[in-house]
């Protein structure tokens, strides 16, 4: 999606993928900085590690506790204009600093609003998963003033810790561990169940029927329709997969790096062609 966007805007930029072992993340960021890259995206398992490895955390990364986007920027003192006037005659190298951002959290809110036309304020939700993605999603949704969040996770203690954090940071939001006793507006899957063919649904339908939710959002976008989304559709729920979130986190990163509005339609088409092999709309 980024290369399509660069082409659409006539930018001579390239987006490349690199496989980096976690223990080499600091060296990889330093290397990209030394090579004067414009920026980086980070994915699992680097988003939490990068919090301690960037030079500056922008507000979004501070609030959501994870970095998925880095922008390398010249700090004021090291701008090229300083070169000629440097005392002693040796030009100082430009100071470049790695600034960490989080574009995932807002992207979830944008995508859920866009794909499911759901009013988050006052909504009741069941969240499946309390790993990295699940915690970030729960906290970001709490910040939208949802009314109630029910948290279900295979490891119950993680859901309990998350509920406690929600209560501490967002006191008006009711957070409870376990399946909801009544109907909800949205079920959101943030577990990794559904990524692999044959994975069971992350929802125990004996404990909570899909007939009791209006909509289901799955952060997984490949496969396009997980077993959970398939079952939800069969039960008449509105459904959406995580492609919209992927698109919007990328669009925001594009704007951070280039300072230009992201060509959303171009990026969406590129994603759909790359991931599904065709345009879906
Ligand atoms: P991510 O950063 O993608 O969230 P993660 O932090 O490893 O990755 O979280 C994966 C999530 O999927 C967790 O909620 C995990 O449950 P645990 O906290 O109990 O590990 C959930 N998950 C993974 N495999 C699962 C399985 N087989 N059954 C149920 N939940 C599973």
Residue 156 lies in a domain: yes
Evaluate: CB of 152 within 6 angstroms of ligand 1: no
Asked whether 272 and 278 are in contact (CB, 8 A), the reply is: yes
Evaluate: CB of 199 within 6 angstroms of ligand 1: no
Q: Report the mean per-residue pLDDT for the chain.
A: 93
Q: What range does the domain containing 204 cover?
A: 105-241
* 158: three-class secondary structure by DSSP: helix
Same-domain pairing of 140 and 26: no
Same-domain pairing of 255 and 165: no
- CA–CA dist 151, 155 (Å, integer): 11
pLDDT in tens, 175-228: 999 999 999 999 999 999 999 999 999 999 999 999 999 999 999 999 999 999
Evaluate: CB of 193 within 6 angstroms of ligand 1: yes
The arithmetic mean of pLDDT across residues 140-165, rounded, is 98
Evaluate: CB of 161 within 6 angstroms of ligand 1: no
Same-domain pairing of 266 and 161: no
* Total of domains in the chain: 2
* CATH assignment at residue 118: 3.40.50.720
For atom 12 of ligand 1, the residue with the nearest CA is 191
Peptide bond into 164 cis (omega under 30): no
Q: Which residues are catalytic?
A: 47
Same-domain pairing of 67 and 90: yes
Closest by CA position to 104, among listed 139, 71, 77: 139
Residues 6+ apart with CB under 8 A from 182: 124, 212
Which residue has tokens 């406690």?
Answer: 164
* Pocket perturbation via mutation, ligand 1, pick of 157, 191, 246 by most ligand atoms within 8 A of CB: 191
Same-domain pairing of 22 and 122: no
Same-domain pairing of 179 and 214: yes
Query: Is pLDDT above 70 for 83?
Result: no
Residue 166 lies in a domain: yes
Residue 178 lies in a domain: yes
Same-domain pairing of 145 and 77: no
Residue 214 lies in a domain: yes
Same-domain pairing of 96 and 142: no
* 152: three-class secondary structure by DSSP: strand
Atom of ligand 1 nearest to the CA of 129: 14
Same-domain pairing of 181 and 212: yes
Same-domain pairing of 42 and 165: no
The residue that leads in pLDDT, 91 or 68, is 68
Same-domain pairing of 190 and 232: yes
208 secondary structure, DSSP code: S
Residue 281 lies in a domain: no
pLDDT in tens, 226-235: 999 999 999 9
125 secondary structure, DSSP code: E
pLDDT in tens, 31-70: 999 999 999 999 989 999 999 999 999 999 999 999 999 9
Residue 260 lies in a domain: yes
Same-domain pairing of 175 and 97: no
* C-alpha separations of 119 from 125, 130, 144, 174, 232 in Å: 12, 23, 10, 17, 19
- CA–CA dist 215, 233 (Å, integer): 9
pLDDT in tens, 249-281: 999 999 999 999 999 999 999 999 999 997 665
* CATH assignment at residue 97: 3.40.50.10860
For atom 30 of ligand 1, the residue with the nearest CA is 154
* C-alpha separations of 214 from 61, 96, 177, 281 in Å: 31, 48, 20, 23
- CA–CA dist 240, 280 (Å, integer): 13
The residue that leads in pLDDT, 132 or 72, is 72
- CA–CA dist 160, 175 (Å, integer): 9
């Amino acid at each position: 999606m980024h290369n399509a966007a660069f082409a659409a805007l006539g930018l001579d930029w390239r987006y490349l993928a690199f496989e980096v072992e976690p223990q080499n993340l600091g060296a990889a960021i330093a290397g990209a900085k030394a090579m004067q890259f414009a920026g980086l995206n980070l994915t699992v398992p680097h988003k939490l590690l990068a919090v301690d490895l960037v030079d500056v955390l922008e507000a979004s990364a501070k609030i959501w506790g994870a970095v998925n986007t880095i922008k390398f920027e010249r700090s004021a003192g090291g701008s090229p204009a300083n070169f000629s006037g440097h005392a002693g005659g040796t030009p100082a190298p430009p100071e470049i600093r790695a600034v960490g951002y989080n574009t995932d959290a807002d992207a979830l809110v944008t995508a859920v609003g866009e794909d499911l036309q759901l009013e988050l304020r006052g909504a009741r939700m069941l969240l499946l998963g309390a790993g990295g993605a699940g915690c970030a999603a729960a906290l970001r949704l709490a910040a939208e003033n949802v009314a109630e969040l029910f948290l279900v996770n295979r490891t119950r203690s993680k859901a309990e810790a998350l509920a406690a954090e929600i209560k501490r940071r967002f006191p008006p939001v009711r957070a409870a561990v376990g399946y909801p006793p009544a109907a909800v507006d949205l079920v959101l899957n943030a577990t990794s169940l559904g990524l692999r063919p044959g994975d069971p649904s992350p929802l125990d339908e004996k404990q909570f029927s899909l007939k009791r939710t209006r909509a289901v959002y799955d952060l997984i976008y490949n496969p396009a329709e997980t077993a959970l989304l398939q079952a939800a559709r069969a039960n008449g729920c509105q459904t959406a997969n995580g492609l919209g979130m992927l698109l919007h986190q990328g669009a925001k990163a594009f704007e951070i790096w280039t300072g230009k509005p992201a060509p959303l339609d171009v990026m969406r088409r590129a994603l759909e062609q790359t991931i599904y092999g065709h345009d879906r709309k």
